[in-house]
Amino acid sequence: MGNYRIAVLPGDGIGQEVTAGAVEVLKAVGVRFGHEFTFEYGWIGGAAIDEAGTPLPEETLRLCRESDAVLLGAVGGPKWDGNPPHLRPEKGLLAIRKQLDLYANLRPVVCYDCLASASPLKPDLVQGVDFVIVRELTGGIYFGQPSGRVVENGEEKAVDTLLYKKEEIERIVRMAFTLARGRKKKVTSVDKANVLSSSRLWREVAEEVAEQFPDVELEHMLVDNAAMQLIRAPKQFDVIVTENMFGDILSDEASMLSGSLGMLPSASLSASGPSLYEPVHGSAPDIAGMNKANPIAAILSAAMMLRLSFGLTAEAEAVEHAVRQALDQGLRTADLAPSGGRIVSTNEMVEEIKTAVLDYTAIAQIMTVYA
Ligand SMILES: NC(=O)C1=CN([C@@H]2O[C@H](COP(=O)(O)OP(=O)(O)OC[C@H]3O[C@@H](n4cnc5c(N)ncnc54)[C@H](O)[C@@H]3O)[C@@H](O)[C@H]2O)C=CC1
Ligand SMILES: CC(C)CC(=O)C(=O)O
Ligand SMILES: [Mg+2]
């Protein structure tokens, strides 16, 4: 059975709680399936600023490069909000994405039947929602130069630059089409081509890539309309591909279709080295340290790691099955309270999922699917 080195970067706030939960579940996978997972910890974000004076220490980067995959929690918090730009926790996250070439951020949005009433939308609108947001992660306005504040002729200004190279667009759009080929064969490319030059290039490149995938339908949608369509008729989507900032914003919006931001996992795939897995949510300072955070986004991110980085499909299915079982049995962290059930802590949810992984049999899953 396999040996896998996993770099764990808990970061800040609930990042620490939810990664601890995901590690527990991975340990259970190791026991149940006979794998050896080695967990090595590194600093990132505010914790790294406090510890090493920088949001992404060299040591952390080295650890990640020497690992088979990276599990990350979240960064940021009010403690560092007043810091100068180079000492913001979020800089550490952006830097690791760039340094590890994590260009493709896959964010699956699924509404579990038992959580349809956790969504603020009508249950019949969200039941059956199942699409993936493919977000470009290493380009666009979060990285373009110049960026910063200037004083010109006594006037204070701030600038950010939205820049995309053709090849950056090509590779992410190709990823979306490849993904759609194994799904419902529809790509919605979201842009702002009525205003932005970068979006006009994006649209042209999407058309070019589409020619190589004649079996997949391509539609273009302006981002403002996309924000509305996600609420009006979310089941129209299969694969949404979009640039960095639009993907960031639309995925938080889309999380409400699944009931909570605490339900959305993600995989940040590298072009050249280990990939990174992280929940879509942030460090949630409002609930940090309270044992209230929903660990499922982090746990499902670990499942994505098993499937995409290690090729451990049965193991990934075991984790996903365990999550579904815990929810079907009525366990709910506080964020999922509107769907009824029994409110449990982060640790209780982790414990239940861990136990279900240890007890997992393929037969159990077949019974659930075909019952
Ligand atoms: N990937 C990352 O590390 C990200 C970091 N951030 C940082 O996190 C800090 C807080 O940002 P916010 O805008 O408040 O976004 P956030 O995602 O941390 O929280 C937004 C809301 O969702 C809730 N929430 C988030 N995750 C949850 C979970 N697992 N279970 C239950 N409830 C959950 C929070 O309690 C909060 O009310 C900021 O410093 C921000 O820069 C924000 C987004 C992503
Ligand atoms: C630093 C931010 C870009 C993090 C974030 O909001 C995200 O990746 O979803
Ligand atoms: Mg975000």
Last residue of a domain, one of 258, 278, 301: 258
**Measuring from atom 23 of ligand 1, which residue has the nearest CA?**
284
Question: What tokens appear for 74 in the block?
Answer: 């979240």
The runs of H, that is alpha helices, within the chain are 14-33, 46-52, 58-65, 89-99, 123-126, 166-181, 197-211, 223-232, 244-258, 296-308, 313-328, 346-358, 362-370
Whole-number Å distance between alpha carbons of 87 and 53: 8
Ligand 3 centroid–CA 215 distance in Å is: 32
Is residue 272 within 8 A of residue 101, CB to CB? The reply is: yes
Give the pLDDT confidence score for residue 271 in this predicted structure: 87
Question: What tokens appear for 270 in the block?
Answer: 């590298």
- In our burial notation (b when 16+ CB lie closer than 10 A, e otherwise), range 224-253 reads eebbebbeeebeebbbbbbbbbbbbebbeb
Tally of helices (H runs) and strands (E runs) in the chain: 13, 14
Residues 125, 247 within the same domain: yes
Sequence-distant (6+) residues with CB within 8 A of 36 are: 1, 2, 3, 4, 30
Beta bridge partners of 222: 191
Residues lining ion ligand 3 (Cβ < 5 A) are 248
Whole-number Å distance between alpha carbons of 44 and 66: 16
Question: What tokens appear for 170 in the block?
Answer: 């090509």
Domain-embedded: residue 363: yes
Q: Which of the listed residues 105, 248, 250 should we mutate to test ligand 2's pocket, taking the one with most ligand atoms within 8 A of CB?
A: 248
Residues 247, 268 within the same domain: no
Residues 126, 247 within the same domain: yes
Give the pLDDT confidence score for residue 370 in this predicted structure: 61
Is residue 256 within 8 A of residue 240, CB to CB? The reply is: no
Last residue of a domain, one of 210, 232, 258: 258
User: Does residue 252 carry a catalytic annotation?
Assistant: yes
Give the pLDDT confidence score for residue 321 in this predicted structure: 97
- Give the range of the structural domain holding residue 134, as residue numbers without chain letter: 120-258
Q: Is 93 in the pocket of ligand 2 (CB under 6 A)?
A: yes
Residues 138, 124 within the same domain: yes
Sequence-distant (6+) residues with CB within 8 A of 162 are: 140, 141, 144, 196, 198, 245
Is residue 7 within 8 A of residue 69, CB to CB? The reply is: yes
Is residue 304 within 8 A of residue 277, CB to CB? The reply is: yes
**How many other CB atoms sit within 10 Å of the CB of residue 214?**
7
User: Does residue 186 carry a catalytic annotation?
Assistant: no
Residues 249, 267 within the same domain: no
| 3-state DSSP assignment of residue 271 | coil
Residues within the annotated binding site for Mg(2+)?
224, 248, 252
Residues 227, 351 within the same domain: no
Whole-number Å distance between alpha carbons of 184 and 299: 26
Report residue 108: phi and psi, to 5°.
Answer: -70, 135
Residues 1, 69 within the same domain: yes
Residues 47, 94 within the same domain: yes
Predicted complex: ipTM over 0.90: yes
Q: Tell me the Ramachandran region of residue 34: left when phi exceeds 0, alpha when psi lies from -120 to 50, beta otherwise.
A: left
Domain-embedded: residue 155: yes
Sequence-distant (6+) residues with CB within 8 A of 228 are: none
Cis peptide before 274 (omega within 30 of 0): no
Residues 176, 144 within the same domain: yes
**Measuring from atom 16 of ligand 1, which residue has the nearest CA?**
282
Residues of the chain with pLDDT under 70: 363-371
Question: What tokens appear for 185 in the block?
Answer: 């064969």
Residues 69, 179 within the same domain: no
Give the pLDDT confidence score for residue 365 in this predicted structure: 59
Report how many domains make up the chain: 2
Residues 203, 274 within the same domain: no
CATH number for the domain spanning 235: value is 3.40.718.10
Domain-embedded: residue 170: yes
Q: Which one of the listed residues 12, 238, 248, 335 is annotated catalytic?
A: 248
Distances from the Cα of 146 to the Cα of 43, 166, 206, 357, angstroms: 28, 19, 27, 49
Q: Is 25 in the pocket of ligand 1 (CB under 6 A)?
A: no
Is residue 50 within 8 A of residue 27, CB to CB? The reply is: no
Domain-embedded: residue 111: no
**Measuring from atom 8 of ligand 2, which residue has the nearest CA?**
248
Last residue of a domain, one of 223, 242, 258: 258
Q: Is 136 in the pocket of ligand 2 (CB under 6 A)?
A: no
Residues within the annotated binding site for substrate?
97, 107, 135, 224
Domain-embedded: residue 113: no
What's the pLDDT tens digit per position in 327-365? 999 999 999 998 999 999 999 999 999 999 999 987 665
Longest dimension (CA), the chain: 72
User: Does residue 224 carry a catalytic annotation?
Assistant: yes
Residues 234, 297 within the same domain: no
What's the pLDDT tens digit per position in 238-293? 999 999 999 999 999 999 999 999 999 999 999 899 999 999 999 999 999 999 99
